[in-house]
Amino acid sequence: LASYTWSKSLANAHFRQIFSQQFNVGAQDAYNLDDMKSFLPFDQPHVFNLLWTYDLPFGRGKRFGGNVNHLVNAALGGWTISGAQRYYSGNLIQAVTPGNPLGATIFSTATKANRNSSIPIQTGISYKDLDPSNPSTRWFNPGAYTAAAPFTLGTAALYDNDFRNPMIAFENISFSKSTTLFPNERNPVVLQYRADAFNLFNRTRFGGINGVVGNANFGRPGGPQVGARAITMGLRLSF
């Protein structure tokens, strides 16, 4: 089962549903509400999901080894491999002037930053080269945004499609084997072994990019977006 979603989520000062959501969506200028039209913070233009399962063709009743004895069948038969894979765009980062200087003057909930169109937002570095311990590896160019001057309105969009974390990818794989210990038409005794690997390839996928305009660490990664590989195993006896 595979699915691919290509989407765009836009809104105009309309996101806050509950008070616990930490996003500034109010207008910086109450007389120009259209100025706040932007991507929504949960916009993800590309999402690909893949779910699959495959019964290995070995053992009795299968393509290979269909006539093997019980001992050989107990070792070769009943194996299944399955996976759940997901690949999607990184999360957007909000581009605002730190401290919201307009908040104390015109009660603005956010003061937008200014965009320097002569400097691209992204540096072009590969996500594979990002390293939180290396100051020279930056996902964003420091000069792409500047803070709005005191008592002025910022001109940049609240969210920009290029101002987001790197894409995320992870693969979860499962191996399982079912062995019938005592055949019975009504209640067979079945032993199942399974091993599950989460983030099978141990992808780090550094993200958590610092998007605070004017900060010395602007554009630097803060840590992994995907947890370390974890493997679990278990036995289950059904009777």
Q: In this predicted model, what pLDDT tens digit does every residue of 97-135 receive, in sequence order?
A: 999 999 888 888 889 999 999 999 999 999 999 999 999
| Distance between CA atoms of residues 22 and 93, nearest Å | 12
Whether 235 contacts 156, CB under 8 Å = no
Query: By C-alpha distance, which of 206, 199, 209 is closest to 225?
Result: 206
Per the confidence metrics, is the pTM higher than 0.85? no
| Number of residues that this document lists for the chain | 239
Q: What is the mean pLDDT of the chain?
A: 89
Q: Is 199 or 71 the better-scoring residue by pLDDT?
A: 199
Hey, what are 59's tokens? 């053992």
Name the most confidently modeled range: 35-44, 65-74, 142-151, 184-193. 142-151
**Tokens 């055949």 sit on residue:** 183
The CA–CA distances, whole Å, from 208 to 107, 110, 123, 156, 162 equal: 30, 21, 16, 21, 15
